Chains A and B, each alone.
Chain A
Amino acid sequence: MNCKEVEERDILEAYLLDRLTEPEREEFEKHYFECGSCFSQLQTGLALQTELRRQPAMPTCARGASLLRAWVWAPAFATIIILLSAGLWWNSAHNRPPSQQVAAPPRVSPNVPIQVQSTAAAPSLEELARVEPPLYSAMVLRDAEDESHETFHKAMQFYVNRNYTKAIPGVRAAVKASPQTASFNFYLGACYLLAGQTDAAIVAFRQTISLGDPAYSESAHFYLAKAYLRRKDVARAKDELQKTVHFHGSMEAEATEILRQLRK
């Protein structure tokens, strides 16, 4: 790889967005370990990316254009949302097993299936990347409760109230106090994902997977796939979805459906 190729193929941006294949990434890293010019630009690119992420979201023309298009379709979207909400309400009111309505072990329930009609056009990556918050129901073992669990449960009250950003500091503190607890890591990933902090979510889900707790592995692979979809990294998302399917658990059907949509 040389400087010209880096510039012409937008390698620097693809590297920062983690979109290169492993061999391309290796090749670019080897290049910038020896090339002062490309490395300076990479450092600047990383600093710019960090700075832009830190700044409050600003409307771009593309976002503006999407909003405009969305406004034109607003009545249709509103109808769909009302129908979906009614369906979900009916489903939760009639089909939810009673065990999920009371305090249960901190397990993740199946995600809400993606609402895709087989006759409809293939959904966009943004649609496939949408997530419903993993269910959380606290199981309080009074005797076994330690400080980290207490911190976690307190923080998860924000999560239950859908204030994911506010939940993050507490859940992160619980992870710091007890890094081996898969549930803490998993819900930290969920909070990050739902708060729009995709990169941090990826780290937390990977950490959950590395802990090998069977109660959270399937869900962690599934939500990691969602995070990759959000970053439009289809290859890695597919890989994680396939791993989800291999568990043959509660998320198998949805993971299979998303894989099918991705193949379209």
Chain B
Amino acid sequence: MDLPSATSAGELRGLAERIRQGDASAETELVHEFTHRIFVMGVVRTHDREAARELVQDILMAVIGALRKGQLQDADKLAAFVHGTARNLINNQLRSASQRPPMEPLPEDLAQACRAEQLEDAERMRLVHQAMEGFGQEDRKILLMTLVDGHKPGEIAAALGLTSEVVRTRKLRALKKVTELIRKKMSRT
């Protein structure tokens, strides 16, 4: 399953140029494209959802500011540029959380786009909860032992009396099933 990104490489390239030219709608598109990615990256690196939410705004503002000034040399590398900016700001936050200067807040329309992403996040959590209720006990165990306890497929297989291949397949199948459910339900709204 190799679905294309919501925005194609060509569109991303154009986005950077449009922001440089002062197109406000391009900034909103950028927010839509990267908010979730930055948020997930922030959660994984800081282990703190609230801190990650705050960081999303700082990072987007930094990226938009740089793009407005035409600081991105190679428009093909917009995703890498956003990732690099996010990594640096998250690392700064981890190093000196208390000394971090307050960043300029996002303009209201962009902040609103961010809030819409937060609602999507809540909806995703609701759908995951719903999907998990439909899982069998063994699939739940596999997910729990993988994503929370951090066991390898071989270890889970030994504990559950399965083969590692079966564990791996069932784990991937569960993950893809929930991803597909979320995609379907959320594309309707």
Contact = CB atoms under 8 A, between A and B. Distances in A.
Contact of B179 (A26, A40, A51): A40
A40 B183 contact: yes
Nearest to A38: B2
B185 interface: no
A12 B129 CA distance: 20
Given A46-B44, A231-B150, A36 B124 contact: no
B46 A203 contact: yes
B36 A39 contact: yes
B4 A29 contact: no
A203 B51 contact: yes
Interface string A25-42: 010011011111101111
Given A36-B5, A40-B3, A44-B179, A30 B83 contact: yes
A179 B96 CA distance: 12
Interface in A181-232: 199-200, 202-203, 206-207, 210-211, 231-232
Contacts of B179: 40-41, 43-44
Contacts of A41: 175-176, 179
A60 interface: yes
Interface string B150-180: 1111011001110000001000100110110
Interface string B1-44: 11111100100000000000000000000000010110011011
A53 interface: yes
Interface residues of B, number: 59
A60 B150 CA distance: 13
A49 interface: yes
Interface stretch (A16-24, A77-85, A234-242, A248-256): A16-24
Contacts of B159: 60-62, 65
B80 A49 contact: no
A51 B97 contact: no
Nearest to A207: B97
A45 B175 contact: yes
Contacts of A180: 98
Contact of B40 (A43, A53, A60): A43
Contact of B150 (A19, A37, A53, A206): A19
B147 A13 contact: yes
B28 to A, nearest CB: 19
Q: Interface size class for chain A?
A: 35 or more
A33 B38 CA distance: 9
Most chain A C-beta atoms within 10 Å of own C-beta, residue among B6, B46, B179: B179
B40 A199 contact: no
A202 B43 CA distance: 13
A115 B9 CA distance: 58
Contacts of B66: none
A47 interface: yes
B128 A51 contact: yes
A10 B124 contact: no
B128 A60 contact: no
A150 interface: no
Given A200-B48, A203-B46, A62 B145 contact: yes
A48 B144 CA distance: 9
B103 interface: no
Nearest to A7: B172
B86 to A, nearest CB: 8
B82 interface: yes
Q: Sorted from nearest, which 7 A-B pairs have the closest CB atoms?
A: A62-B159, A36-B5, A199-B47, A47-B128, A49-B147, A33-B79, A37-B3
16 contacts: A10-B168, A34-B5, A37-B2, A43-B179, A46-B40, A48-B147, A50-B125, A50-B128, A52-B143, A52-B148, A60-B149, A62-B159, A199-B47, A199-B48, A207-B97, A231-B150
